[in-house]
């Protein structure tokens, strides 16, 4: 025994120093090509996902990342969450210097453990574990090895070997081990090679691998990362969530599962049933009934998320919402369906991926890619879509958060993929009519009538409903792009409907709006609506440009100018037609009136990388034209 | 007793004499909601409110706990009304409860009740909060939150909540806020304190008290210790003594919201806080809790979590320091080398904390720590080299002000170093990557701070004493139809600090891209460069060539501010209810020297002007002249103060309005007619 010990000591004494000199991950070993656009380099990463049963999936992730500079620090950490349905089994980590020599190892006491911070969720049983070496001598290398276990198969981990932009990958592999009879669907993007498949008794192993993947640079309006870099999305076939079993082979199957989750959650207490009957009594059409019940929902409930265990995926019962007056998107949508059912109107619970200008889900690859629930009411002629977490959205309107995309309708026969309403240039309209006077001292008195429709009204709609009249005034006094002004009066008129609109009336007084220099008066006739995006010139644009906003703006301005002035210079007319949009402006003086008109149409679409500088040029011309000044001179 | 509080009592007594019938209770009875309560209007002094605090009544009574000593019981009864749907957020509550990692002391939430009252078809409908809707979120071993949301809440609802917290922490006696996010019609706090405890009362804010009262009563306290039940001794005994009851009431308190140029709104909220100053149990000597400042120094310097290592030999530092100071003999040169070593080799994970988190020795391994870890390591290393230095404790601007009179240690959250080299004093902060030896960031300029010498010397780090001086220059010459020039920007130290950080993270190219983008396509910048980027003691200098687009127009309109200063008024709000706190004084100069293009004459020039604000507290000049084909412009904006009272806000806003207007003015050049 004693001898063995001394052998060990000798081993440590003689072998270790040698090892320290030549570390495993010296920065000098990184190939040059891996450094282009990169702030960090993944030296190697091995992820192994083992589907042991429908209730047990282990995910092992071992990675070594070299952090090249301060901007790369965002990749120098390990983090994962755990909950009743997910455990973190172990975590190890090491820190290496530039030569690849180990500086130190992770200590358990350094791991932070906190409740998952969430703005929308009041209570959540998810907690976060986080570790960071906080090293500062660049470059350095971190290594982490972690294992987690999921107690469900509804959400299989995806593989995105590039965790972000500005990071390159020397070598990364993803191994999926499952029963050969268990069907797993895959959707791969930008992968040069198919997986290597081996079957060994009851284990089928698939290994994907990439080598020498250069970093994806950060660029304005570039496509999402997974369209530019290797990425695989996995879809389960049969799966389990808690005690619920389902299949995801088709949208229909997946919908059936959701409908099973929601089963029996639609019962309402007697007083609410009575209340519903009172509310719909006398309503002439089904649409009127829907509107009345939606108003009832909006006035009596609000959004609070309590997400514990399966509550993250299964709604609280309708009776819960009835008594508490709150719930999350699932609970409130389920409640709305229940209310409508009492009134004899068939409505559906709908899963959707919410987010402003979010990209659509892959329609031919059923997977659980949803983050939100809404309610759909098919009537004879069309469908009324209801956002149940909002107290102010008009019935039937989806806006930029849920419009223009596919969603999964949960019916008795299972899931059906449907499209939510589309809002394009025909609906997204902004028309502003301004009239006013400018006096010889430069003071502008202005009346504006601004009309906003569909997605052009989304932000305004939310703001005016979130603010009292006093707060609206404070906001207006702070936020117009005029150096010095006062808001004399204002009001808002809303038109609700499938395509809602808001008319904003403003009366503004702005001293010094026009600059007076001696005998001249400089007036910027475009007063309230100036384009303000300017792009950075880039001669080596790498990726396509994707524009997601689509709208038409029309502005007309009439200003009465003071007596005794003549026109010295006017903004030049402009008429630009580009694939990204059109812009037209003109300015004239007739008698004592200065006229300015402007129209801007923005197109959505995907454009070649080479078009980037044309886009920059388009934005720049609009930026300038929107700020051009008219110059008047006093007749002496 | 602080003078401020006795003054207030005096004024309030006067008020009470004048109006004997002054209301001394809230205008409702807790737990009884009447139909009339639903028609309480939004108060005129806060007419945009989404919810109203009808009454917030609290009391804290120091009373024996069952651990053989005293604790306190805090009770709160709150009634609110929801005005509109945006006000339902007022019905979300998080009640923090603290424990202790080192003792059995803790806080406990007792008898929480919450009820919503709605008026439905002329009838009042009650909905109670169910126990299973009260959630516990554990934040750490010694801190948890109880979370709940009032049920059945909608526009027009009234709700009431009441709860009791029993606490063993008489050292952290419960403060009271009179001013909240919502207007409050009645805020009422009463405390009962036995004669054994002497507290200092600290009030702040700008709202007057409606009532301030105090009275004394006799009490018998039963002291018991349930924890030692196994002991044969009877642990229960009684104690006779006096208690003092005090009550503070405010009426009609408007809500408070944070505006630009505020250190932290917490400095301005109306509230009262308590600091235990001494304890005197019967037949025992007085135990000082809030000590003198010198005692604060002693405690800090002895503490394992602060200075216990600082006065030792610290031979463990020998090998660390030797290569750092090798070859240096002067103390100043050594100090600079050590400072740079700490700054450049360690990461500050948290810019808040007056106690060690990692510890000095282990930091050598982890290479990171909080502000105390880093700056105390700096001190240990300087002391190792026999350089005289002391820790300085302070509170950063975002953390609120410290009290210069009472040594309230809780208010401090930051440690820096005061080194005395030769006859010169240096304040050092090694936690910020680009901060030079002897410089502090704006966050430290927050008034009173204490140097932990034996007698704990107070120093003032006032924003009024810091001047951010910047000079921008442009020289423009005319070449045929094109204007070309050179621009040099010399920003102040703090702006340089921001720019250095920007460059460190995004690179120089990104900085110039930003400048180019701001100019737009009419101007092209080239030959860019930055000086003094690594000379951290000095501000940086940015320079570039600029070329204006070629023109042969008959008339050229030209804004001479080639370096934009104020495009918009930074003081957006029309009114302000509390002081303006700018991080530093300002002295901005811009100089343009421009050769006019050949063939053009100046047709019009902006007027030269000088304006002043509040005597010499602010001034702006705009001096322009043309002489033999050369145009010269000089603008200078000075704010000689950084802190302004609320009364000055309107004037300050108008002053900046004028600056914005003047800087937008144009020069007109006209082609000579042949």
Q: Across A12-165, where does the E strand assignment appear? A: 40-53, 56-67, 77-82, 86-96, 102-105, 112-115, 121-124, 127-132, 140-150
Partners of B347 on chain A (C-beta within 8 Å) are 134-136
Q: How confident is the model at residue A119 (pLDDT cuts 50, 70, 90)?
A: low
Are the beta carbons of B135 and A484 separated by less than 8 Å?
Answer: no
Average pLDDT over residues B323-332: 94
Average pLDDT over residues B40-51: 94
Partners of A520 on chain B (C-beta within 8 Å) are 604, 666, 668
The interface pTM score, or ipTM, of the predicted complex is 0.85
**Are the C-beta atoms of B665 and A515 separated by less than 8 Å?**
yes
Chain A nearest CA to B39, separation (Å):
18
Strand partners, A430: A452, A553
Which pair of tokens denotes residue B130? 């169910």
Of the candidates A581, A551, A549, A450, the one whose C-alpha atom is nearest the C-alpha of residue A505 is: A450
**Are the C-beta atoms of B488 and B472 separated by less than 8 Å?**
yes
Chain B nearest CA to A71, separation (Å):
5
Chain A nearest CA to B268, separation (Å):
21
**Are the C-beta atoms of B30 and B79 separated by less than 8 Å?**
yes
**Are the C-beta atoms of A211 and A202 separated by less than 8 Å?**
no
Please give the Cα distance from B300 to A144 (Å, whole number): 38
Q: What is the pLDDT of residues B550-602, one digit of tens each?
A: 777 888 888 899 987 787 888 888 788 899 999 999 999 999 999 988 888 89
| CB pairs A-B closer than 8 Å | 148
Are the beta carbons of B573 and A477 separated by less than 8 Å?
Answer: yes
Please give the Cα distance from B49 to B87 (Å, whole number): 8
Are the beta carbons of B665 and A620 separated by less than 8 Å?
Answer: no
Average pLDDT over residues B48-59: 97
Please give the Cα distance from B353 to B399 (Å, whole number): 11
Of the candidates B280, B283, B195, B198, the one whose C-alpha atom is nearest the C-alpha of residue B242 is: B195
Are the beta carbons of B149 and A122 separated by less than 8 Å?
Answer: yes
Partners of A478 on chain B (C-beta within 8 Å) are 572-573
Distance of CA B626 to the CA centre of its chain: 47
Best to test chain B binding among A295, A335, A515, A539 (most B CBs inside 10 Å): A515
Are the beta carbons of B152 and A631 separated by less than 8 Å?
Answer: no
Are the beta carbons of B555 and A70 separated by less than 8 Å?
Answer: no
pLDDT at A6: 41
pLDDT at A20: 42
What architecture does CATH give domain A250-419? Roll (3.10)
Token pair 């706090």: residue: B189
Partners of B568 on chain A (C-beta within 8 Å) are 483
Are the beta carbons of B657 and A483 separated by less than 8 Å?
Answer: yes
Average pLDDT over residues B190-212: 95
Are the beta carbons of A71 and B506 separated by less than 8 Å?
Answer: yes
Q: How confident is the model at residue B349 (pLDDT cuts 50, 70, 90)?
A: confident
**Are the C-beta atoms of A133 and A105 separated by less than 8 Å?**
no
The bridge status of strand A40-53 relative to strand A112-115 is: unpaired
A257 pLDDT higher than 90: yes
Are the beta carbons of A302 and B520 separated by less than 8 Å?
Answer: no
- The overall average pLDDT reported for chain B is 91
Chain B nearest CA to A437, separation (Å):
19
Fold of B467-671: Jelly Rolls (2.60.120)
Could you give the residue ranges of the DSSP H alpha helices within B507-625? 508-519
DSSP B552: -
Pick the CATH number of B293-461 from 1.10.3720.10, 3.10.620.30, 3.20.20.480, 3.40.30.10: 3.10.620.30
pLDDT at A589: 97
Which residue from B517, B660, B668 is facing A536, i.e. has the nearest CB? B517
Q: What is the pLDDT of residues B614-672, one digit of tens each?
A: 999 999 999 999 998 899 999 999 999 999 999 999 999 999 999 998 998 889 988 88
Which pair of tokens denotes residue A54? 């429908």
SS3 B334: helix
Q: What is the pLDDT of residues A276-315, one digit of tens each?
A: 999 999 999 999 999 999 999 999 999 988 877 777 789 9
Best to test chain B binding among A272, A304, A309, A465 (most B CBs inside 10 Å): A304
Chain A nearest CA to B586, separation (Å):
21
Best to test chain B binding among A76, A297, A298, A468 (most B CBs inside 10 Å): A468
Chain B nearest CA to A280, separation (Å):
17
Distance of CA B208 to the CA centre of its chain: 23
- Among A102-111, B240-249, B386-395, the minimum mean pLDDT is found in A102-111
Partners of B138 on chain A (C-beta within 8 Å) are 115
Q: How far is CA B19 from CA A479, B12, B207, B381, in A?
A: 45, 11, 19, 65
**Nearest residue on chain A to B138, judged by CA atoms?**
A115
Q: What is the pLDDT of residues B350-383, one digit of tens each?
A: 999 999 998 899 888 888 899 999 999 999 999 9
**A113-120 long-range Cβ contacts below 8 angstroms, 24+ apart:** A114/B139, A115/B137, A115/B138, A115/B139, A116/A81, A118/A305, A120/A303, A120/A305
Are the beta carbons of B555 and A391 separated by less than 8 Å?
Answer: no
Chain A nearest CA to B321, separation (Å):
18
Please give the Cα distance from B220 to B14 (Å, whole number): 34
Chain A nearest CA to B656, separation (Å):
10
Which pair of tokens denotes residue B227? 């924890």
* More confident site: B141 or B134: B134
- The overall average pLDDT reported for chain A is 92
Which pair of tokens denotes residue B397? 């601007």
Are the beta carbons of A134 and B504 separated by less than 8 Å?
Answer: no
Residues of chain B with CATH 2.60.120.1130: 467-671
Residues ≥6 apart with Cβ < 8 Å to A274: none
SS3 B286: coil
Partners of A569 on chain B (C-beta within 8 Å) are 555, 557
Partners of B149 on chain A (C-beta within 8 Å) are 122, 304, 326
Are the beta carbons of A325 and B151 separated by less than 8 Å?
Answer: yes
**Are the C-beta atoms of B200 and B261 separated by less than 8 Å?**
no
**Are the C-beta atoms of B402 and B449 separated by less than 8 Å?**
yes
B3-17+47-259+270-288 belongs to which CATH class? mainly beta
Of the candidates A245, A45, A618, A328, the one whose C-alpha atom is nearest the C-alpha of residue B149 is: A328
pLDDT at B672: 84
Please give the Cα distance from A560 to A436 (Å, whole number): 6
Q: 3-state DSSP: chain B helix, strand, coil percent, rounded to 5?
A: 25, 40, 35
Residues ≥6 apart with Cβ < 8 Å to B385: B321, B325, B331, B334, B335, B338
Of the candidates B322, B321, B326, the one whose C-alpha atom is nearest the C-alpha of residue B342 is: B321
Please give the Cα distance from A251 to A525 (Å, whole number): 54
**Are the C-beta atoms of A144 and A78 separated by less than 8 Å?**
yes
pLDDT at B231: 52
Q: How far is CA B393 from CA B82, B340, B375, B450, B459, in A?
A: 44, 21, 11, 5, 10
Pick the CATH number of A27-224 from 2.60.40.3140, 3.50.50.60, 2.60.120.380, 3.40.190.10: 2.60.40.3140
pLDDT at B674: 61
Please give the Cα distance from A331 to A304 (Å, whole number): 10
Are the beta carbons of A136 and B367 separated by less than 8 Å?
Answer: yes
Which helix H or strand E contains A210, and what residues bound it?
strand A203-213
| Cis ω for the linkage preceding B123 (within 30 of 0) | no
Q: How confident is the model at residue B192 (pLDDT cuts 50, 70, 90)?
A: very high
Are the beta carbons of B661 and A515 separated by less than 8 Å?
Answer: yes
Chain B nearest CA to A333, separation (Å):
17
Are the beta carbons of B86 and A631 separated by less than 8 Å?
Answer: no
Average pLDDT over residues A230-250: 93
Residues ≥6 apart with Cβ < 8 Å to A577: none
Partners of A304 on chain B (C-beta within 8 Å) are 92, 149
Torsion of CA B46, B52, B55, B56, to 10 degrees: -100
Partners of B83 on chain A (C-beta within 8 Å) are 468
- A589 burial class (0-12, 13-18, 19+ CB within 10 angstroms)? middle
Average pLDDT over residues B65-78: 93
Q: What is the pLDDT of residues A337-355, one digit of tens each?
A: 999 999 999 999 999 999 9
- Up-side HSE of residue B156: CA atoms within 13 Å toward CB? 13
SS3 B625: strand
Token pair 């909220």: residue: B269
Which residue from A123, A135, A299 is facing B147, i.e. has the nearest CB? A123
**Nearest residue on chain B to A520, judged by CA atoms?**
B604
Partners of A568 on chain B (C-beta within 8 Å) are 555
Q: How far is CA B257 from CA B53, B87, B263, B570, B639, in A?
A: 16, 16, 13, 17, 25
Which pair of tokens denotes residue B338? 């050590």
Pick the CATH number of A429-634 from 2.60.120.1130, 2.60.40.10, 1.10.3210.10, 1.10.510.10: 2.60.120.1130
Are the beta carbons of A517 and B666 separated by less than 8 Å?
Answer: yes
Please give the Cα distance from B491 to B473 (Å, whole number): 11
Residues of chain B with CATH 3.10.620.30: 293-461
Please give the Cα distance from A393 to A379 (Å, whole number): 19
Are the beta carbons of A136 and B345 separated by less than 8 Å?
Answer: yes
Please give the Cα distance from B397 to B443 (Å, whole number): 5
Q: How confident is the model at residue A397 (pLDDT cuts 50, 70, 90)?
A: very high
Q: What is the pLDDT of residues A381-393, one digit of tens each?
A: 899 999 999 999 9
B542 pLDDT higher than 50: yes
Please give the Cα distance from B520 to A536 (Å, whole number): 10
Q: How confident is the model at residue A117 (pLDDT cuts 50, 70, 90)?
A: low
pLDDT at B2: 36
Q: Where are the domains of chain A?
A: 27-224, 250-419, 429-634
Are the beta carbons of A136 and B347 separated by less than 8 Å?
Answer: yes
Best to test chain A binding among B42, B121, B514, B574 (most A CBs inside 10 Å): B574
Best to test chain B binding among A95, A119, A134, A469 (most B CBs inside 10 Å): A134
Q: How confident is the model at residue A121 (pLDDT cuts 50, 70, 90)?
A: low
Q: How far is CA B638 from CA A74, B89, B260, B468, B582, in A?
A: 40, 43, 19, 10, 13
Chain B nearest CA to A415, separation (Å):
33
Order of strands, sheet of B667-671, starting from the edge strand that comes earlier in the sequence = B555-558, B667-671, B600-604
Please give the Cα distance from A184 to A197 (Å, whole number): 13
The bridge status of strand B523-531 relative to strand B541-548 is: antiparallel
Which residue from B48, B152, B153 is facing A469, i.e. has the nearest CB? B48
Strand partners, B53: B80, B184
**Are the C-beta atoms of A333 and A374 separated by less than 8 Å?**
yes
The bridge status of strand B51-64 relative to strand B184-194 is: parallel
Chain B nearest CA to A408, separation (Å):
30
Rg (CA), chain B: 31
**Are the C-beta atoms of B488 and B542 separated by less than 8 Å?**
yes
Of the candidates B490, B483, B491, the one whose C-alpha atom is nearest the C-alpha of residue B552 is: B483
Partners of A301 on chain B (C-beta within 8 Å) are 154
A426 pLDDT higher than 80: yes
Residues ≥6 apart with Cβ < 8 Å to B266: B400
């Amino acid at each position: 025994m004693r001898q063995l010990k001394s052998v060990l000591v000798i081993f440590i004494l003689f072998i270790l120093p040698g090892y320290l000199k030549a570390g495993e991950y010296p920065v000098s070993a990184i190939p040059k090509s891996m450094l282009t656009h990169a702030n960090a380099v993944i030296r190697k990463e091995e992820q192994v996902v083992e589907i042991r049963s429908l209730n047990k999936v282990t995910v092992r992730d071992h990675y070594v990342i070299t952090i090249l500079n301060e901007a790369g620090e965002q990749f120098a950490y390990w983090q994962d969450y755990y909950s009743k349905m997910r455990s973190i089994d172990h975590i190890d980590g090491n820190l290496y210097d530039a030569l690849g020599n180990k500086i130190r190892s992770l200590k358990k006491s350094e791991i932070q453990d906190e409740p998952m911070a969430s703005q929308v969720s009041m209570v959540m049983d998810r907690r976060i574990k986080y570790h960071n070496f906080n090293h500062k001598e660049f470059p350095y290398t971190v290594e982490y090895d972690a294992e987690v276990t999921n107690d469900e198969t509804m959400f299989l981990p995806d593989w995105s070997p590039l965790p972000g932009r500005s990071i390159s990958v020397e070598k990364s592999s993803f191994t999926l081990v499952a029963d050969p009879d268990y069907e797993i669907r895959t959707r791969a993007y930008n992968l040069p090679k198919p997986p290597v498949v081996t079957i060994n008794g009851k284990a089928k192993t698939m290994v994907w691998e990439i080598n020498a993947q250069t970093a994806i640079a950060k660029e304005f309006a570039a496509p999402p990362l997974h369209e530019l870099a290797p990425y695989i999305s996995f879809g389960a076939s049969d799966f389990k969530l808690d005690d619920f079993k389902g299949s995801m082979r088709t949208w229909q199957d997946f919908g059936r599962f959701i409908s099973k989750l929601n089963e029996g959650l639609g019962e309402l207490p007697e007083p609410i049933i009575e209340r519903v009957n009172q509310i719909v009594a006398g309503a002439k059409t089904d649409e009127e009934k829907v509107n009345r019940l939606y108003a009832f929902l909006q006035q009596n409930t609000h959004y609070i998320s309590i997400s514990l265990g399966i509550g993250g995926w299964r709604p609280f019962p309708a009776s819960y919402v009835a008594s508490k007056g709150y719930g999350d998107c699932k609970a409130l949508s389920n409640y709305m369906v229940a209310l409508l059912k009492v009134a004899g109107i068939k409505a559906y619970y709908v899963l959707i991926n919410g987010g402003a200008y979010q990209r659509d889900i892959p329609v031919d690859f059923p997977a659980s890619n949803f983050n939100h629930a809404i309610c759909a009411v098919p009537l004879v002629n069309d469908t009324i879509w209801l956002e149940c977490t909002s107290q102010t959205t008009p019935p039937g309107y989806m806006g930029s958060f849920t419009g223009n995309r596919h969603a999964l309708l949960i019916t008795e026969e299972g899931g059906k993929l449907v499209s939510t309403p589309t809002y394009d240039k025909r609906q997204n309209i902004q028309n502003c009519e301004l009239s006013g006077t400018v006096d010889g001292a430069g003071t502008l008195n202005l009346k504006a009538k601004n009309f906003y429709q569909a997605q052009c009204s989304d932000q305004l709609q939310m703001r005016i409903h979130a603010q009292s009249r006093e707060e609206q005034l404070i906001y207006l006094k702070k936020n117009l792009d005029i150096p010095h002004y006062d808001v004399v009066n204002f009001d808002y008129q809303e038109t609700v409907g499938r395509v809602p609109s808001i008319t904003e009336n403003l009366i503004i007084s702005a001293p010094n709006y026009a600059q007076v220099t001696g005998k001249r008066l400089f007036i910027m006739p475009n007063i309230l609506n100036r384009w303000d995006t300017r792009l950075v010139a880039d001669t080596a644009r790498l990726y396509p440009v994707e524009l997601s906003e689509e709208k038409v703006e029309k502005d007309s301005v009439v200003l009465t100018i003071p007596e005794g002035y003549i026109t010295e210079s006017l903004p030049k007319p402009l008429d630009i037609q580009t694939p990204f949009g059109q812009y037209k402006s003109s300015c004239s003086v007739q008698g004592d009136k200065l006229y300015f008109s402007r129209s801007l149409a923005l197109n959505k679409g995907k454009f070649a990388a080479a078009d980037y500088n044309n886009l920059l040029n388009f934005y720049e011309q609009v930026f300038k034209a929107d700020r051009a000044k008219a110059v008047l001179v006093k007749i002496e | 007793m602080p003078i401020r509080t006795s003054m207030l009592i005096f004024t309030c007594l006067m008020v009470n004499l004048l109006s004997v019938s002054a209301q001394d209770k809230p205008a409702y009875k807790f737990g009884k909601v009447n139909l009339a309560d639903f028609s309480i209007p939004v108060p005129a002094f806060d007419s945009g409110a989404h919810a109203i605090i009808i009454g917030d009544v609290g009391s804290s009574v120091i009373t024996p706990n069952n651990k053989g000593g005293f604790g306190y019981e805090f009770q709160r009864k709150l009634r609110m009304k929801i005005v509109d749907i945006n006000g339902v957020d007022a019905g979300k509550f998080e009640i923090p409860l603290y424990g202790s990692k080192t003792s059995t002391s803790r806080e406990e939430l007792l008898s929480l009740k919450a009820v919503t009252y709605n008026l439905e078809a002329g009838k009042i409908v009650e909905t109670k909060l169910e126990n299973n809707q009260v959630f516990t979120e554990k934040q750490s071993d010694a801190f948890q939150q109880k979370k709940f949301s009032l049920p059945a809440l909608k526009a027009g609802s009234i709700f009431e909540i009441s709860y009791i917290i029993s606490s063993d922490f008489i050292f952290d006696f419960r403060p009271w806020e009179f001013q909240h996010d919502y207007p409050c019609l009645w805020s009422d706090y009463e405390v009962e304190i036995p004669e054994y405890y002497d507290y200092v009362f600290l009030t702040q804010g700008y709202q007057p008290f409606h009532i301030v009262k105090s009275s004394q009563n006799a009490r018998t306290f039963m002291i018991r210790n349930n924890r030692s039940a196994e002991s044969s001794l009877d642990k229960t005994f009684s104690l006779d003594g006096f208690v003092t009851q005090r009550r503070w009431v405010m009426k009609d308190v408007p809500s408070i919201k944070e505006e630009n140029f505020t250190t932290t709104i917490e400095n301005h909220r109306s509230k009262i806080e308590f600091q235990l100053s001494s304890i005197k149990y019967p037949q025992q000597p007085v135990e000082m809790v809030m000590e003198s400042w010198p005692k604060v120094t002693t405690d800090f310097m002895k503490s394992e979590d602060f200075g216990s290592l600082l006065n030792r030999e610290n031979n463990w530092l020998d090998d660390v320091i030797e290569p750092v100071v090798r070859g240096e003999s002067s103390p100043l040169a050594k100090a600079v080398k050590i400072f740079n070593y700490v700054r450049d080799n360690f990461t500050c994970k948290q810019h808040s904390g007056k106690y060690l988190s990692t510890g000095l020795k282990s930091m050598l391994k982890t290479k990171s720590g909080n502000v105390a870890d880093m700056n105390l390591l700096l001190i240990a290393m300087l002391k190792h080299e026999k350089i005289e230095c002391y820790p300085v404790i302070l509170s950063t601007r975002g953390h609120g002000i410290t009290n210069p009179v009472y040594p309230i240690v809780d208010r401090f959250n930051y440690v820096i170093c005061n080194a005395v080299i030769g006859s010169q004093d240096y304040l050092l902060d090694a936690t910020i990557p680009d901060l030079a030896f002897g410089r502090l960031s704006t966050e430290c300029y927050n008034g009173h701070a204490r140097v932990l010498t034996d007698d704990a010397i107070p120093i003032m780090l006032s924003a009024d004493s810091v001047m951010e001086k910047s000079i921008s220059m442009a020289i423009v010459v005319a070449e045929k139809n094109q204007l070309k020039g050179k621009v040099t920007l010399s920003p102040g130290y703090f702006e340089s600090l921001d720019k250095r950080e920007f460059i460190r993270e995004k690179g120089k190219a990104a900085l110039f891209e930003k400048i180019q983008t701001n100019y737009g396509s009419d101007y092209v910048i080239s030959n860019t460069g930055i000086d003094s980027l690594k000379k951290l003691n000095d501000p940086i200098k940015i320079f570039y060539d600029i070329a204006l687009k070629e023109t042969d127009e008959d008339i050229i309109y030209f804004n001479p501010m080639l370096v934009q200063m104020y495009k918009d008024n930074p003081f957006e709000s029309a009114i302000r209810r509390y002081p303006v706190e700018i991080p530093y004084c300002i002295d901005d100069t811009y100089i343009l020297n421009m050769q006019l293009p050949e063939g053009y004459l100046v047709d019009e020039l902006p007027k030269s002007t000088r304006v002043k604000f509040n005597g010499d507290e602010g001034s702006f000049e705009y001096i322009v002249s043309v002489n033999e084909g050369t145009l010269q412009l000089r603008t200078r904006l000075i704010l000689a103060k950084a802190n302004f009272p609320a009364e000055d806000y309107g004037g300050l806003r108008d002053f900046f309005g004028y600056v914005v207007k003047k800087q937008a003015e144009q020069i007109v050049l006209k082609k000579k007619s042949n």
